[in-house]
Chains A and B, each alone.
Chain A
Amino acid sequence: MTGDVDARGVRLQFRLRGDQKVIVLSEARLEQLRRIRHTIWNEPFARRTWSELLFFVLSVLLAAAGMAFIALTMFAGIALAVTFIGLVIIAGSLRGARGIGGFHRALARNLLDEHIQEPEPFVARPGFFGWLQSALRDPIGWRSVAYSLLKMPLAVFGVWFALSVWVDAFFCLTYPLWGDGALRPPEYGFVVNAFSPGYLSAGTSGFFHSVFIFVTGVILVFLAPWPMRAVVYVDRRLMRLLLAPDAMTARVRSLEHARAQTLDTSAATLRRIERDLHDGTQAQLVAVAMRLGQVKEKLAAERDRLDLDQVRQLVDDAHKGAKEAIVELRDLARGIHPPALDIGLEGALSTLAARSTVPTDVTVALTDRPTPAIESIAYFCVAELMANIVQHAHASRASISCAQQGQWLRLVVRDDGQGGAHPALVGSASSGLSGLTDRVHAVDGRLHITSPPGGPTVVTVDLPLHA
């Protein structure tokens, strides 16, 4: 007969053998136990264990040296704070603390494989006073000081709680080599004391006593990795909290990145406009002026030597050139700011759809009007996507939908073409899809493309309504 009994939340199987219940462990449970046993047996020999021990010892030494430096300079600085020199010393102390933080990060990286993000390098304003101000306000410096301060109690606790076990283990294991009845391992740290005071002094001297202490040492070696792991775990959290750039700094960094991209994009846009003007309209107008110049000179010639047909041809060319220049200028102006946007996104998108050679449906459902910048980004996204559809997708239909979701505007551009669109494949870095991605990111928006080979391609753009 068999059945189940729930023991401490773990369902155990049992079988009745006569009157006795014999518990049969499930295969999964057995596997779990096997793994735990394996871990306990192997942990003293694991690389991680020894790295953590080495990290703890080195980082405590480093923290002690660092704290000595910080304490000394800070006290000196505060004592002299009424004079100018005090501020300089505090600033120096903060710069030093930043460096110490860097050492801690390097230690964690090399020994714990804990990759804590480097904060941005210290940037001083120009001049000595600029340096002083920057150093005193450096949040990384102050956070490093905070880490050093908090590391102190952690180090003291770690020495008592974790390092002591290793020390005890070392003395107990080596006891047979040096020990005799008179000399005993130091009873220090929490584990040995936890057994009972005077535990290691118990018993008599002699062979069995040595064996007793050695066995204790072996037990301690298997125990020792775990308190150390706990202490190092706390230290890891502390480092991630205080030695990595904080959320605000990370945000500032991402904004700086976005700003740089925006500046690059607008510089690239200006360059493109300049080139279009230079190669198109300006060249066109120079040609027109050149022809008119020729006409002027020909008309100034003697009446009987005047070749009217040639003059007519020149005027014709000039006229045609002037009209072409007007068209180019209009296209260029529309590329800078589409006039249709002035009446709103719906009208502008309808115009875009109407101009496309691929039949396109437009649905716009907005209750609030987005800010002009967002409207412009949305418009150019759709314009670029529609251009891609016409050029690359081989689509027979497309649709544009623009809907409001709370404070977000969701644009979906869909086509039934061949698919396979990718930001890296379509367009160049300054224009095209990747340029769009930059523009969308600059306002904290998102651009998502699904375009499996064979299609359909769906591009979703989320933009905040107000930026």
Chain B
Amino acid sequence: MTDSIRVAIAEDSGVLRDGLVQLLTDRGFEITAAVSESEGLRASVQGDCPDVAVIDIRMPPTFTDEGLRAAIDLRRRHPGLGILLFSQYVETRYAADLLADDAAGIGYLLKDRVADTSDFVEALVRVASGGTALDPEVVTQLLGASRRTDSISRLSAREREVLSLMAEGRSNAAIATTLVVSEGAVEKHVANIFTKLDLPVSQSDHRRVLAVLRFLDS
């Protein structure tokens, strides 16, 4: 199902890089490059045109946000390239930087997520095909930090769950599977959320993410 997806990996930890290569090859991805710093990544993206790049945020030489800056730069040069940022910690500011103008083909996950291999692979496929994958931790932080508490408190518990999953970038079908409800029920919840939060209704999943994130961040 995923044989055609081409992936570039930039991760400075050797064990993790090898592990990722092994996992993704096993799952039928094609690895175009596995490098340990951002310069090599830039060169390989230029040469091999992968569909998606998995990038560790903290890499040499600065060990700060090297990967994030490389990601923003690559985004500008290769608009079609999906980017999955990969980090030991969640920094809401990084997510905000990355999602500044578009959420299509953007992912931001904690490294821990690779332990649940299927979820990780699913997120990678989503990002490669222009979707969004935000770590639940990022969404939780955004929800916690949001000043729109009164609007959010108007949502029912179920609606809040749907909002979180929506913000992670999941489609209605995926949300329905996760919550074990019908897709029609999810559609109803989504419509309610948009009405209650007074958001413009958007069709595509990644526009929806952006709308929700903008709302939470404002």
A binding-site residues for B, Cβ under 8 Å: 275, 278-279, 282-284, 286-287, 289-294, 297, 310, 317, 321, 324
Contacts and interface: CB of A to CB of B under 8 A. Distances in A.
- Which of A282, A286, A293, A297 lies at the interface centre, i.e. has the most chain B CB atoms within 10 A of its CB? A286
B13 A283 contact: yes
A292 B13 contact: no
Contact of A286 (B12, B16, B26, B63): B16
A297 B118 contact: yes
Contacts of A324: 15
Interface stretch (B92-100, B107-115, B138-146): B107-115
A294 B13 contact: no
Contact of B19 (A287, A297, A310): A287
Interface centre among A275, A287, A289 (most CB of B within 10 A): A287
Interface string B110-140: 0110111110000000000000000000000
B88 interface: yes
Given A278-B58, A286-B112, A293 B15 contact: no
A326 to B, nearest CB: 14
B23 interface: yes
Contacts of A284: 15
B116 to A, nearest CB: 6
Contacts of A279: 12-13
Contacts of A294: 23, 26, 117
Contacts of A310: 26
Given A278-B58, A294-B23, A321 B15 contact: yes
Interface string B26-54: 10000000000000000000000000000
Nearest to A298: B26
Contacts of A293: 114-117
A284 B13 CA distance: 8
A286 B114 contact: yes
A143 B27 CA distance: 79
A325 to B, nearest CB: 9
A136 B111 CA distance: 57
Interface residues of B, number: 19
Contacts of B19: 286-287, 290-291, 317
Contact of A290 (B12, B58, B88, B115): B115
Give the interface SS of chain B, mostly helix, strand, loop or mixed.
helix
Contacts of B23: 290, 294
A108 B63 CA distance: 50
Interface string B13-24: 101101110010
Contacts of A287: 13, 15-16, 18-19
Contact of A292 (B111, B115, B118): B115
A286 B86 CA distance: 12
A290 B13 contact: no
Given A289-B115, A291-B19, 14 more contacts: A275-B63, A278-B88, A282-B111, A284-B15, A286-B114, A287-B13, A287-B16, A289-B112, A290-B16, A290-B19, A292-B115, A294-B117, A297-B117, A321-B15
Nearest to B116: A293
- B13, B19, B118 — which one has the most chain A CB atoms within 10 A of its CB? B19
B126 to A, nearest CB: 18
A290 B117 contact: yes
A292 B19 CA distance: 11
A413 B88 CA distance: 41
B111 to A, nearest CB: 5
Contacts of A317: 19
A283 B56 CA distance: 11
Given A278-B88, A294-B23, A283 B118 contact: no
A278 B12 CA distance: 11
Nearest to A314: B22
Given A278-B58, A278-B88, A294-B26, A289 B13 contact: no
A445 to B, nearest CB: 32
B123 to A, nearest CB: 14
Interface in B1-18: 12-13, 15-16, 18
A293 B20 CA distance: 12
Contact of B111 (A275, A286, A291, A297): A286
A294 to B, nearest CB: 5
A198 to B, nearest CB: 86
A280 to B, nearest CB: 8
Interface string B170-196: 000000000000000000000000000
Contacts of B116: 293
Contacts of B26: 294, 310
B193 to A, nearest CB: 32
A292 B112 CA distance: 12
Nearest to A277: B88
A282 B88 contact: yes
Nearest to A310: B26
Contacts of A278: 58, 88
